[in-house]
Amino acid sequence: MIKVEGRAYKGKRLLEKHLNGIRITRNEAIIAKCYDCEGGYSDGIKECNISDCPLHPYNPYNKSNLCSET
């Protein structure tokens, strides 16, 4: 479903790698999970509003992003 419906934003390739059994780094896993949680950004990229999520500060599209570029 990801390959067909998910948009090609940061996280798609990483989530596909994980689902194919390829090891990804901790930062890549965070980015992939944010992509998954946001439904593949099917309604476009926006800042995550789930502030109580422990990954919130690492979401690649948040202004307060703590995650390095991959």
Instruction: State pTM to two decimals.
Output: 0.74
Q: Is 70 among the domain residues?
A: no
Q: Is 40 among the domain residues?
A: yes
For tokens 């980015």, the residue is 31
Residue 30 phi, psi (nearest 5)? -65, -45
Domain count, the chain: 1
Q: Is 21 among the domain residues?
A: yes
Task: Flag whether pLDDT at 70 surpasses 50.
Answer: no
pLDDT, one tens digit per residue, over 4-62 is: 555 667 889 999 999 999 999 999 999 999 999 888 877 777 888 888 999 888 888 88
Nearest-angstrom CA–CA distance, 70 and 14: 10
- Domain housing 24: 2-58
Q: Is 64 among the domain residues?
A: no
Q: Is 50 among the domain residues?
A: yes
- Token pair listed for 41: 């950004």
- Please tell me the predicted confidence (pLDDT) of residue 49: 84
Q: Could you tell me which residue, 3 or 26, shows the higher pLDDT?
A: 26
- Token pair listed for 69: 């570029």
Q: Is 67 among the domain residues?
A: no
Q: Is 30 among the domain residues?
A: yes
Burial of 5 per CB tally in 10 Å (0-12, 13-18, 19+): exposed
